[in-house]
Structures are given as structure tokens and as C-alpha cells.
Amino acid sequence: MATAEQSYLRGQLEQRRERLHTLVHETENDASLHRLLGEVDAALSKMDAGTFGVCEECHGSVEVERLLADPTAGVCLECLSQDEQRLLERDLALAGNIQRALLPQRQFSTAAWKVSFHYEPAGLVSGDYCDLIETPSGLLFLLGDVSGKGVAASMLMSHLNATFRSLAAGNLSVNSMAEAANRIFCKSTLAGQYATLIVGRADDGGAVEFVSAGHLPLLHVHAGGARAHGATGVPLGMFGDARYTVQNVKLQPGESLLLYTDGLSEARNAAGEEYGVERVARIAAQGVALSPDLLLAGCISDLRGHLAGVKGRDDLSLLALRRVN
């Protein structure tokens, strides 16, 4: 395991041990607390001995994502008993349900905007992030993609959701929100973990301001086609002092914005051919007259045709906003 990851996990375990020691002294004869404390001490001893992350059964490697989710894990997935596998599947299903509960309403609208999104995890949990928040200054929209997959990515996705929900309450500018979230993300994640993200705000007059933290191009869909707007800064989590430039777009009634994650643009068919951002823009332009849900349906249908039965390997999320008046 990488040194940065183990350093992070050691810090987490030491904090957990300190809290457990406090609880053990405050609570008499609680066997569960003593058991947890023993598991934490055992994990720290393995770090000292250089055997942390080694499966106790097959002596292979315990999956990094499992250790990030539970630093006391002692066996790899293949060595779990059937009962343990069923318990893990149940926990993953519960985590997936919690993630879906964090999503906004499927059909979301304000006086000036109609919004729809498509959210399709590759597994039980997802690293994609989507949110819609009404603020005094307009409709805040966010779409992002956390690096990696599985449990670790899903935990960071939930972390982003909580971070931006808190920041939205302050009615900050979109670049101030992105910069504050980036500082928080840098302090609370491992080296090498990051998230690409678009955070924007749309007012009732059709004016949209947004920043893109290393995310795929935002598309402004209008009668002349689909105009791409690229990143305005680096992904969250790379540099603590990163700054983000605001881009401004003015939408007329009937025009739309389309945001998507790489589960769309990087999807590959059986021949290894990538779907590509150019095809995303071309299909989006063909849906200029469509409502947000039909625009997304057209994109998904074309993707399915490209894949021709091949299952997508990455989380897939799309978000469409249409100005209605």
C-alpha cells in the first residue's frame, strides 16, 4: 500500500483508538467497545510489523478500497465467508440506498428552468455527484465525478454532497464555493484522490455563471448547435490554493445546458471504440427542441446503440437544464 494511504489510515486508526479509550473509561463492562479497541490495536500493530493490508487467509493483498472504508479489515474479499459476503452485500446495498436518497428530485423545476438528470452507478454505489439547490441568487446545479470506484469513491461523493450543501447556505459566489470545497477536500482526502466538478448558478433571467474544476466540457445547446465550455481550473483535491475562473453564459428561452460524466464520453464498445465528447455534442445538438428528460433519453439511447449490449464499466450521470421563459 502507498505510503500516503497508510499514513492517512494510521491517523484515522489513532484517532479511533483515542476515542475508544475515552469511551471505555466512561462505560463499564462494554464488551463491544473492548472488542473494537482490540481490532484497532491489532491493525496498528500490523502497520508497525509491515503486515498491514496482507490477507490473513491467503496472504495476498486486502483491497485498498476496503481498507479505506474499514482500516481494521483483515481478509480480502475472496476469503470472506459466505455469511460475511452476504453482510457486505447488504451493507453495500444500504450505502447505495443512502446515496440515492441524497439525489435531488428526478423532475426538478423553477419558474425559469426545467431540469432532469440520469444517474446510473456501475455497481451498487457510485462516485458520481449530482445536486440541485435553490438559493436566493438562483438555481445552483452541480455535477461531478470522484476518482476511483466503489466504496471509497462513494464516501467521497457523500463528502462532496455535505460540503456543498453547507456552502450553499452561505449564498457564496460559485468560484468561492469551489475554492472553499477544494481546500476542505485537500485536507480530508489522500494524495491522489480528486474530483472533477462543475458548479453553476442559473438565475430567472437566463444568465448562468459556472466554474469547472477539471470536468468535461459543459454544452450550451441552442439553435446553432452545441457550444462546448471547458474547464476553468484543476480538479478538487490537487492543490489547496487553486483558483477557479468564472464563465458566463446567457440562455434564451428554449435553450439548454448539458453536463455529463465520463461514463458517457469514455464508454467503449466491443471493438474498443470510445463514444467521445464530439459525439456527445452532436447528439445534444440534435435535441435542441427537446425537454430535458427527452434530451437525456436521446443521449442514453444513442449510447446504448454505440455499446450494442456491452455493459458500461463506469458510473454514468447526465444533467440537463432548459430555460422555459
pLDDT at 29: 67
Give the residue extent of every domain in the chain: 3-80, 104-323
Q: Is the pLDDT of residue 248 over 70?
A: yes
Q: What is the dihedral of CA 313, 89, 5, 101, to 10 degrees?
A: 80
Q: Is the pLDDT of residue 2 over 60?
A: no
Phi-psi region of 50 (alpha: psi -120 to 50; beta: other; left: phi over 0): left
Q: Do the Cβ atoms of 155 and 69 come closer than 8 Å?
A: yes
Q: What is the pLDDT of residues 197-210, one digit of tens each?
A: 999 999 999 999 99
Give the CATH number of domain 3-80; options: 1.10.10.60, 3.40.800.10, 3.40.630.10, 1.20.120.910: 1.20.120.910
Residue keyed to cell 498491514:
52
Q: State which H helix or E strand residue 75 sits in.
A: none
Give me 57's grid cell. 487467509
Model confidence at 228, pLDDT cuts 50, 70, 90, reads very high
Among candidates 209, 182, 219, 176, which has minimal Cα distance to 197?
182
Question: What is the 8-class DSSP label of residue 314?
Answer: S
Say if strands 195-202 and 138-146 run parallel, antiparallel, or are unpaired: antiparallel
**Between residues 90 and 128, which one has the greater pLDDT?**
128
Model confidence at 261, pLDDT cuts 50, 70, 90, reads very high
Among candidates 193, 194, 189, 229, which has minimal Cα distance to 212?
229
Give the CATH number of domain 104-323; options: 1.10.220.10, 2.40.30.20, 3.60.40.10, 3.40.50.300: 3.60.40.10
Q: What is the pLDDT of residues 24-45, one digit of tens each?
A: 777 766 777 788 888 889 889 9
Q: Is the pLDDT of residue 114 over 60?
A: yes
For residue 74, which phi and psi values (nearest 5 degrees)?
Answer: -115, -10
pLDDT at 190: 67
Lowest mean pLDDT among 82-96, 224-238, 242-256: 82-96
For residue 175, which phi and psi values (nearest 5 degrees)?
Answer: -70, -35
Q: Is the pLDDT of residue 1 over 70?
A: no
As a whole-number percent, the residues of the chain with pLDDT over 90 amount to: 53
Does 3-80 match 104-323 in CATH topology? no
Residue keyed to cell 466504496:
151
Q: Give 219's strand partners.
A: 228, 258
Q: Is the pLDDT of residue 214 over 90?
A: yes
Among candidates 213, 216, 245, which has minimal Cα distance to 229?
216
pLDDT at 308: 94
Q: Is the pLDDT of residue 8 over 80?
A: no
**Between residues 70 and 254, which one has the greater pLDDT?**
254
Please spell the DSSP secondary structure of 153-200, one letter per residue: HHHHHHHHHHHHHHHHTTT--HHHHHHHHHHHHHHHS-TT--EEEEEE
Task: State how far the Cα of 44 lies from the Cα of 149, in Å rounded to an integer.
Answer: 26
Instruction: Provide the mean pLDDT of the chain.
Output: 89
